[in-house]
């Protein structure tokens, strides 16, 4: 057994009590924390008029379901139709469900939206507001007791990305590597994909990896809900601000339904029940966004991809 495979085996054993399991794909080394069966129904209802909603694995499966549960119940009540929730392991899988019309609405990453819009006409609904802004950042994090204080000092260390389609968990740290004309294989001693930001955060906190790139919205939410984890960490670099991960709908969704969905999210903060749910989610509301708002992410993706060809 070579050193790289042995390291991943040790990582899996260390986190066995914390996560669902570990696996490796052909294309990317990864820590796979998801259950093998990850499709869950919010309501086990297969009626034709149900709204099919996908939750990208921005956070781990159970945490995502818990985070969105009350919001989706209110949406179900407002629309007067059942909601079926689907969760997939990767952002690319969710995009494929949107492309083929197997789901109607999704909460996805910014680069997932950009890719989906440019490839098959994915449409925006709204984006979340936190701290008065529809913006978020990538945080490069390490343990607080680490001597690492810059991204450059992560050379020769173990690093966690989230998903190959993640703006904050992959594109931004890859752009930092491009600035140094480096590849992850040569820069890091080892790197993995965790497929959710909270798992990346926990991997750093548990010492499984030395550093990770994570989404600021998840980091801030965990700072409020799980301070015992975040208190062990420090941020050594922040990206420029990008527009927040949007709510999107598949192309071809009926115009009346799209209008209802936009009104629901934009007006969510206008009712007591809506404000209560938003407060639990650590949000202030949702706002309308335009495709051009995501041009900076589109450019970032092109920069990274241009070096991969």
**What's this model's pTM, rounded to 2 decimal places?**
0.82
Please determine, looking at this structure, whether the domain spanning 25-33+135-242 carries the CATH number 3.40.190.10.
yes
CA distance 141 to 211: 5
Q: How many Å separate Cα 250 from the centre of its chain?
A: 19
- DSSP letter (8 states) at residue 196: S
Residue ranges per domain, the chain? 25-33+135-242, 51-131+246-306
DSSP string, 50-74: PEEEEE-TTS-HHHHHHHHHHHHHH
Which tokens belong to 270?
């206008």
Q: Rounded to the nearest 10 degrees, how much is the dihedral formed by the CA atoms of 286, 289, 295, 301?
A: 40
Q: Is the pLDDT of residue 177 over 70?
A: yes
- Shared fold status for 25-33+135-242 and 51-131+246-306: yes
pLDDT at 25: 35
Query: Which pLDDT tens digit goes with each residue over 246-273?
Result: 999 999 999 999 999 999 999 999 999 9
Q: Which residues pair with 86 in a beta bridge?
A: 54
Q: What is the mean pLDDT of residues 6-31?
A: 39
Q: Is the pLDDT of residue 39 over 50?
A: no
Which residues are CB-neighbours of 9 under 8 A, at least 6 positions away? Answer: 1
Under 8 Å between Cβ of 88 and 38: yes
Question: Residue 67: which pLDDT band, with cuts at 50, 70 and 90?
Answer: confident
- Arithmetic mean of pLDDT over the chain: 86
3.40.190.10, 3.40.640.10, 3.30.565.10, 1.10.3720.10: which CATH number matches 51-131+246-306? 3.40.190.10
Query: Which pLDDT tens digit goes with each residue over 185-244?
Result: 999 999 999 999 999 999 999 999 999 999 999 999 999 999 999 999 999 999 999 999
pLDDT at 270: 97
């Amino acid at each position: 057994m070579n050193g790289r495979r042995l390291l991943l085996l040790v990582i899996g054993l260390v986190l066995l009590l914390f996560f669902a399991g570990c696996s490796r794909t052909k294309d990317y080394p990864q820590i796979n924390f998801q259950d093998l069966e990850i499709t869950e129904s919010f309501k086990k209802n297969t009626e034709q008029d149900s709204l099919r909603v996908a939750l990208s694995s921005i956070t781990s499966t159970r945490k995502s379901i818990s985070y969105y549960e009350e919001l989706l119940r209110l949406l179900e009540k407002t629309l007067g139709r059942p909601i079926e929730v689907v969760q997939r392991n990767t952002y690319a899988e969710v995009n494929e469900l949107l492309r083929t019309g197997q789901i109607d609405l999704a909460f996805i990453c910014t680069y997932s939206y950009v890719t989906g819009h440019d490839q098959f006409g994915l449409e925006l609904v709204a984006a979340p507001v936190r701290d008065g802004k529809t913006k978020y950042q990538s945080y490069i994090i390490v343990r607080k007791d680490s001597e690492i204080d810059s991204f450059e000092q992560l050379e020769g260390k173990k690093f966690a990305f989230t998903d190959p389609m993640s703006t904050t968990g992959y594109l931004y740290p890859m752009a930092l590597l491009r600035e140094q004309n480096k590849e992850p294989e040569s820069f890091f001693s080892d790197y993995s994909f965790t497929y959710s930001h909270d798992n990346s955060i926990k991997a750093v906190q548990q010492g499984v990896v030395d550093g990770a790139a994570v989404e600021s919205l998840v980091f801030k939410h965990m700072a409020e809900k799980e301070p015992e984890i975040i208190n062990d960490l420090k941020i050594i670099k922040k990206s420029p601000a990008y527009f927040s991960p949007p709510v999107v709908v598949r192309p071809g969704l009926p115009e009346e339904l799209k209008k209802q969905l936009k009104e629901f999210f934009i007006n969510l903060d206008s009712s007591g029940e809506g404000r209560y749910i938003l407060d639990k989610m650590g949000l202030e509301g949702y706002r309308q966004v335009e495709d051009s708002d995501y041009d900076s992410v589109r450019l970032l993706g092109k920069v990274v991809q241009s070096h991969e060809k």
